[in-house]
Amino acid sequence: MTDNVMSGISISARETKFMNNISSQVWLSKCTSFISGDFDQPTFHRVHHILLFVTFIFLLFSEVFNFYFLDISFIYQAMLAVLAMGQLFIWYFSRFKQRFKSMAILYVVIMAGIGLPASWFFNGGSQGPTLAFIYILVIYSVVILCEVKYLNGYTVLIMVLLPVIFYLGEYYFPASVSGYTNPEQRVADLIFCNVVSVLVLVTIMLTYTRTLKKEVQRANDYSRQLQIVSETDSLTSLKNRIYSVNALQLAKKANKPFNIILLDIDHFKNINDTYGHDVGDVVLKKISDILKNFSRFNGALVSRYGGEEFLVVTFFQTFEQTMRLAESLRIAVNGINYSLSEKVTISLGVAKSMDSEDYLTVIKRADRALYESKHRGRNQVSTIEEAV
């Protein structure tokens, strides 16, 4: 009894841990979706939103770090605060107001016109961390602005020219650069900024790759859905003629033998003319359901070949087994109640493939056998293989 109690406690603990993991994943997914935007937004939009939010957090941490560990001027501290609020402003309008392009331009202008110059001239110049921020902007341009070609090119050009301007400015006007008061501050600042820069880059790349994978998966799923739709008859949900023809072509290329049952609903035009096409559609669906059930148990491919005509292909049965299957289909269709005054029957023709012929010849021979069933009074199975 003690063992059972302990087992129950163990299971309960595992279930609790599992539910906690699920709750954490849901919470994380909701937070990520809130920051980046819905999954139906383009990849570079979502990565852009995450970068803006992460940059906002980074600037806030920089404020705290500079206040406690560095001797930075009040002007630079104020500029960092303005930049942080600017990042939040840009993120909000890009994320919730769908102004991606205008906000991307504003981001580049603020960073290139204010953020980078302020970091260079107020935070150590060539001895400081500004180059790491420039590299982040280059990655930003390549990854996020890839769909805005002109902005992408201008941003890369600016990122090439800015270091040149900064180095020349520092060389000719060294007094314009505020250096570190001691080496320890420089080391601390470089370590902090490089660690944060790497984290920002990793965040960008991880978000981009994961979002891209999801988009690729969605595209593949959509492609599979389109393929299913293109291969499926909309009324009966059976495979259509195109699919069955492709399957037969592949079977002949692989030299795989097969048998064909071609069947047709007897007097189907009279059913449509007498009861209407809605009733005719019901008859088609009921017969299709019978074909589906038999195909599952016999490993057969069933398709609507056209109108009231159906094609059944067996790949793993002998010709005699296929003949028995055709007879079973005939009997099953006869036994269904269609709520009509007359009985619904089918005529069937069966043929088998030969090594020296293509699939069309086999279908034609099955069609001739089907015509033979019609000629002999319908509601029967025929084959002309004995004459071949």
Positions annotated as catalytic residues are 308
**Residue 302 β-bridge partners:** 312
The owner of tokens 């037969």 is 248
Whether 329 and 294 have beta carbons less than 8 Å apart is answered as yes
Token duo for residue 31: 């937070």
Give the H/E segment covering residue 349: strand 346-352
Contact of 247 with 301, CB cutoff 8 Å: yes
Going by C-alpha positions, the residue among 132, 153, 131, 133 that lies closest to residue 141 is 153
User: d(Cα 186, Cα 71) in Å, to the nearest integer?
Assistant: 10
Q: Which helix (H) or strand (E) holds 301?
A: strand 300-306
Give the residues across from 351 on adjacent strands: 260
At residue 353, φ and ψ (nearest 5 deg) are -80, 150
Distance CA 281, CA 237 (A): 12
d(CA 379, CA 344): 9
List phi, psi (to 5°) of 303: -145, 155
Amino acid (one-letter) located at 302: V
Rounded distance, CA 292 to CA 343, Å?
21
Cβ neighbours, 10 Å, residue 126: 13
How many other β-carbons are positioned within 10 Å of the β-carbon of residue 252?
18
Separation CA 37–CA 29 (nearest Å): 11
SS3 content of the chain, % helix, strand, coil (to 5): 75, 10, 20
Cα of 216 vs its chain's centroid, Å: 5
In the chain, the amino acid numbered 158 is: I
Q: Which token pair is 173? A: 């006007």
Residue 169, SS3 per DSSP: helix
